[in-house]
Amino acid sequence: MSIDSETQGIIDNLLSNNKVVLFMKGTPDQPQCGFSAKTIATLDLLTSTFMAVNVLEYPEIREGIKEHSNWPTIPQLYIDGELIGGNDIVQDMLKSGELATALGVDIPTTTQPEITISPDGIALIKSALDAEKTGNLQLQISATWTHQMSLDDNPENDICVDIDGLKLYMDPWTAGRADGLQMTLEKGMTGSRFIFDNPNAPPPVNQMTVQTLKTRLDSGDDIVLIDVRENSEQENTTITGARPWNSDTRTFIESLPKDTEIIIHCHLGDNSQTLADTLRQHGYTNLHNLAGGIKAWTEATDNS
């Protein structure tokens, strides 16, 4: 079956407009197959910037990308428009360092991080490992600072940290993000979970009151204020000095030092929180969400 011109055009646009494209089953948050999940986890380890295409939503792309690449399976990873391959190739390239090179990511110097796990957490993990009787405990900290533990049958070339007799394996990127990590077991009504306290992660997004923002603006402070609402909403009312969230603002933000103070608002504070969390994952460390959004602003400062 040959690929139709419309589908070919969509694929060409995706590959030409994005450095890294992953054609996968499901979404990064909810992958629908194990191979897609593992490829996403690997990409997350090295970079927070890539385009993921859920082929389950677009049957024409699912079949078209196979014709385009002459590669029969999904997922498929492309970098700079060139096919890298499926999950097995991605995993081999991760271990060899070729994936980092292709992504333009430096391979960290091997370090031995200091990691602390609470005694009850160590006991729980050891009990689970004894029950499984196979695999090695693997820690992965992604480029967006999510923490995940799993079992890996092949820890070759990984860094091993011994914590009170518990062997914890990790790749070099995780090791570089893990020094000082404290893992504490939290017990609740629905079971137990680990809390990861990582001093290397960017600080959480702050919540700024509209009164504080007004004081800052009245005093003439030079601040970066972003409005993520739709254009039609901004036509009704705006906060003086706010930048609309568009391609120009994205370029502007990317040019700023990562510790620049950035304040984001929307109508009620939900969408602005989402953008703030995304910027935090990209390394920005001085982020503020306007609590209550433009609604709280108008009610508190300008009822007109």
Mutual angle of helices 87-96 and 34-46, in 10-degree steps = 30
At 178, phi and psi to the nearest 5? -105, -5
Domains of the chain: 5-103 (3.40.30.10), 115-197 (2.60.300.12), 206-301 (3.40.250.10)
pLDDT of residue 295: 93
pLDDT of residue 202: 86
Classify 141 as helix, strand or coil.
strand
64 and 7 in contact (C-beta within 8 Å)?
yes
276-280 CB contacts, 8 Å cutoff, 24+ apart: 276/205, 277/205, 279/253, 280/202, 280/204, 280/205
pLDDT of residue 208: 96
pLDDT of residue 259: 92
Q: What is the pLDDT of residues 125-152, one digit of tens each?
A: 999 898 887 788 999 998 888 899 988 7
CA distances from residue 267 to 68, 137, 149, 284 in whole angstroms, order as listed: 43, 44, 37, 23
pLDDT of residue 302: 67
* Strand ranges in 189-257 using DSSP code E only, listed in sequence order: 191-197, 206-208, 224-227, 243-244
Q: Looking at the DSSP assignment, which residues form a beta bridge with residue 77?
A: 22, 85
- Taken as a whole, the chain contains a residue count of 304
Residues of the chain with pLDDT under 70: 1, 153-157, 302-304
Rg of the chain over Cα atoms, rounded to whole angstroms, equals 23
